[in-house]
Amino acid sequence: MGNIHSQKWSYIGVLVLFFHKSNRTKFLNRRNQWLWKNCKMEFDLLNNVTNKLHKNNNKLLNLIINFLQAQKDPYCQQIIETSMIRKIDVGFEDIIGLEHIKNQLEETIILPNLRPDIYTGIRAPPKGILFYGPPGNGKTLLAKAVANQIKCCFFNISASTLVQKHLGEGEKLMRALFDVAFQLQPSVIFVDEIDSILSKRSQNEHEASRRLKTEFLISFDGIQSSDQDRVFLIAATNRPQDIDDAVLRRFTVKILIDQPELKVRVEMVKSLLSKVKNNLTEQQFQYVAEKLQGYSASDIKAVVKEACMRPLRTDRTLILSIHRQDIRAVSKEDFDFALEQVKPTLSQQQYEEYVKNFK
């Protein structure tokens, strides 16, 4: 790429394009590695070019300066390298079922992002959404699909990443997460297992935990203070009862992601078997779906995989020589066997207790 000093105008040009609304997604998807590598230039290189940018580009210049300053922060760099998803390949059309939730997300976050000129004032969208419900039912997938629908930056961070062994690092990472998301808005921050870092306060709580919660509340309040900023937080939890009340109050939209209904289970099994030879009738698909009552979406995928593997285990000596089209079709009996091997994540009693407490 040549000496960085001789290429400074090229880098400025790339950064200008990067912050231009119509080109941001293009660069994130197609040129992200080149961009991220070369935007780490020394901040003082901008000193010679600040007076050459047109006065009308002051806002753009501030974005560039703030972004380059962030590159010198190791915590911002860690967020960019480990939590920023460069390419999202899932949309609402890839998610089976959950139609009422998709409609709710379209109303609360997608349309307001596509038409921010309309959704202002009392119509302004909520900046925080909490997904809760039994594990394995697509909370992360939904968050990715939302980010993909509005073509924005997506940050996927697990709560364990924010729990650092050195005192003070957790809140610095938390601050960096919101800072980078703010600079690259529109953006969606997805925090999984949020209950593990934002649990209810207690007298025996560690000082580091209290400081992390305080930093979260400050940062969360910051993105909610302006209708113009487009930074959204989506959090997920399997245990909403453990989350601190002050945190729960700030999530004005709470959405239950429940286990799939019968109709959805039928569609899921059919979809997972769409490229696998099988001899199941419509009645047998219905039978299998009924047997999958109480299984999460990820559990259902595990059952279907186990059923699909059984024909390959019939005679392993033939695997190396058999033609693909000669492999035995997956049958209802394979599903009966798979259902014996793969049990649901939550027992019926555990699920009923969950529903009683949280629905």
- What are the structural domains of the chain? 8-72 (no CATH), 92-256 (3.40.50.300), 262-358 (1.10.8.60)
Statement: the pTM of the whole predicted model exceeds 0.85: no
Which spans in 32-150 are helix H?
A: 32-38, 58-71, 74-82, 99-105, 111-114, 139-149
How many other CB atoms are there within 10 angstroms of residue 31's CB atom? 15
Contact call for residues 63 and 19 (beta carbons, < 8 A): yes
Task: Say how far apart CA 302 and CA 165 lie, in whole Å.
Answer: 35
Task: Say how far apart CA 272 and CA 261 lie, in whole Å.
Answer: 16
**Residue range 10-35: average pLDDT?**
45
119-154 pLDDT, tens digit each: 888 888 888 999 998 889 999 999 999 988 888 888
Quick one: pLDDT band at residue 196, thresholds 50, 70, 90? Answer: confident
pLDDT at 105 over 90: yes
Q: Select the more confidently predicted residue: 72 or 82.
A: 82
Q: Which of 84, 73, 87, 80 is nearest to 29 (CA)?
A: 87
Q: From residue 262, give the alpha-carbon distance in Å to each of 103, 259, 285, 321.
A: 20, 10, 11, 39
Instruction: Return the top range by mean pLDDT from 10-19, 149-158, 160-169, 312-321.
Output: 149-158
Name the β-bridge partners of 131. 236, 255
201-256 pLDDT, tens digit each: 766 666 777 788 888 888 888 877 777 778 899 999 988 888 888 888 889 899 99
Task: Say how far apart CA 73 and CA 60 lie, in whole Å.
Answer: 21
